[in-house]
């Protein structure tokens, strides 16, 4: 993970302290290291005094809010009151939209806020990369490429693309054999592609307008991406990259990156349409085990997206499965991947939040899939 000192210098002590708790927070603890590092570049951590309101009942703020220190009180409309202590909770506070209660601090507190859409997108990418790496590990032809492919999948370059397009990344990359001394990109030129180093090493140098000499900015090796700014804007290259050894690069054209940004068609269904079905489908929660335990639909099993590679055998291909998560990003990805394999699956439109079914979630009723049948897990 990112060095503590580097995080402290870039974001401040409160963020650095919060970063140290990431491996205990649900669902952040399930993120792969590079994804949690990227996510923490966008968190906000601040202190609040006692008797301040963190959110009101019915509010829609689109945030994961974690209590990092101090105590708070959740006040529900029916009069029920719950005291939450930072030392005892690892879940975001009353994480439903709209908020089911009012939250008031009982003491001075430290609070971390993260945009929920960013969290869900990052979770989807992290978990689908785990799925893909599990699948690739079963194919012996990729044995020598697994480490490099893992680096590519972990790149934050693709976080803006729909997670379901992850498997198409490698088909869009074109190999280039290069030699020591080759100038791959030149400062000042307008680029139309970026590169991943598959084999070899390179140096990044910059030449200043008021000086004849150049400055070495970095030395980069396998897995590193460079020139990615050209994919999102038309600005001139801000540095030159020169190979310092023979090697192999993988080139991604701007036009191919644009294709990766498009949403594919996914079979989805609304909660209302499910109720009209003659035969009851099997609901499958593709979130993490901890998220499932915190609240899930009754009569649903848990098959985390990251574990689909080894757990998909639990599904009966002929039966209809409705996949769901918080917002549908992960369930869309799971539906796409399983649909390609011949499973009869659909994604719940909008997920739990979009379908506004938070009040239907339960915690005392778990189920598992056994031979394609949903059975009680109690």
pLDDT digits (tens, 9 = 90+) for 33-74: 889 988 998 999 999 999 999 999 999 999 999 999 999 999
* Mean pLDDT for all residues in the chain: 90
Enter the tokens of residue 267: 């079979």
Specify the DSSP class assigned to residue 134: H
pLDDT tens for 126-151 read 999 888 888 777 766 655 677 778 78
Which CATH code fits 4-116?
2.60.120.10
Mean pLDDT score, 270-275: 92
pLDDT of amino acid 308: 92
Domains 4-116 and 268-376 share a fold: no
pLDDT of amino acid 5: 56
pLDDT of amino acid 4: 47
pLDDT tens for 164-214 read 888 889 889 999 999 999 999 999 998 999 999 999 999 999 988 766 778
Nearest to 323 by CA among 90, 164, 115: 164
pLDDT of amino acid 263: 85
Residue 159, pLDDT above cutoff 90: no
What are the sequence ranges of the domains in the chain?
4-116, 175-256, 268-376
Measured distance CA(80)–CA(100) in Å, rounded: 11
Question: Which CATH fold would you assign to the domain 268-376?
Answer: Oxidized Rhodanese; domain 1 (3.40.250)
pLDDT of amino acid 279: 87
pLDDT of amino acid 167: 80
Nearest to 196 by CA among 148, 256, 257, 133: 148
Measured distance CA(256)–CA(214) in Å, rounded: 33
The CATH class of the 175-256 domain is: mainly beta
Enter the tokens of residue 353: 């939040």
pLDDT of amino acid 99: 93
pLDDT of amino acid 146: 73
Q: What is the pTM of this model?
A: 0.84
Q: How far is CA 121 from CA 31, 124, 262, 264, in A?
A: 11, 5, 15, 16
Count Cα neighbours of 227 within 13 Å in the Cβ-side half-sphere.
27
Measured distance CA(230)–CA(236) in Å, rounded: 8
């Amino acid at each position: 993970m990112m060095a503590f000192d580097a995080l402290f210098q870039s974001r401040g002590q409160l963020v650095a302290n919060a970063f140290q708790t990431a491996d205990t927070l649900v669902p952040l603890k399930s993120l792969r290291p590079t994804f949690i590092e990227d996510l923490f570049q966008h968190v906000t951590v601040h202190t609040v005094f006692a008797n301040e309101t963190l959110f009101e009942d019915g509010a829609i703020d689109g945030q994961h809010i974690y209590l990092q220190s101090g105590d708070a009180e959740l006040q529900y409309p029916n009069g029920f009151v719950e005291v939450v202590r930072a030392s005892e909770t690892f879940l975001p506070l009353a994480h439903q939209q709209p908020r089911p209660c009012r939250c008031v601090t009982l003491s001075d507190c430290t609070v971390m806020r993260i945009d929920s859409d960013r969290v869900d997108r990052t979770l989807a990418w992290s978990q689908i990369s785990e799925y893909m790496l599990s699948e690739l590990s079963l194919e012996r032809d990729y044995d020598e490429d697994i480490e490099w492919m893992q680096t590519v999948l972990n790149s934050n370059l693709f976080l803006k693309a729909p997670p379901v397009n992850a498997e198409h990344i490698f088909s869009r990359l074109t190999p280039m054999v290069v030699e020591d001394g080759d100038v791959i990109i030149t400062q000042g030129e307008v680029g139309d592609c970026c590169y991943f180093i598959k084999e070899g090493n390179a140096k990044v140098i910059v030449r200043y307008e008021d000086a004849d000499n150049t400055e070495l900015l970095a030395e980069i090796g396998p897995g590193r991406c460079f020139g990615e700014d050209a994919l999102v804007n038309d600005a001139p290259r801000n540095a030159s990259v020169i190979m310092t050894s023979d090697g192999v690069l993988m080139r991604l054209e701007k036009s191919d990156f644009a294709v990766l940004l498009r949403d594919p068609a996914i079979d989805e269904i609304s909660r209302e349409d499910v109720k009209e079905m003659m035969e009851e489908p099997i609901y499958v929660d593709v979130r993490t085990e901890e998220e499932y335990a915190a609240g899930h639909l009754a009569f649903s099993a848990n098959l985390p997206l990251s574990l689909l590679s080894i757990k998909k055998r639990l599904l009966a291909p002929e039966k209809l499965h409705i996949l769901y998560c918080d917002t549908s990003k992960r369930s869309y990805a799971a539906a796409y991947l399983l649909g390609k394999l011949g499973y009869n699956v659909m994604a719940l439109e909008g997920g739990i939040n979009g379908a506004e079914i938070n009040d239907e979630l339960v915690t005392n009723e778990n189920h598992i899939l056994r031979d394609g049948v949903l059975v009680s897990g109690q």
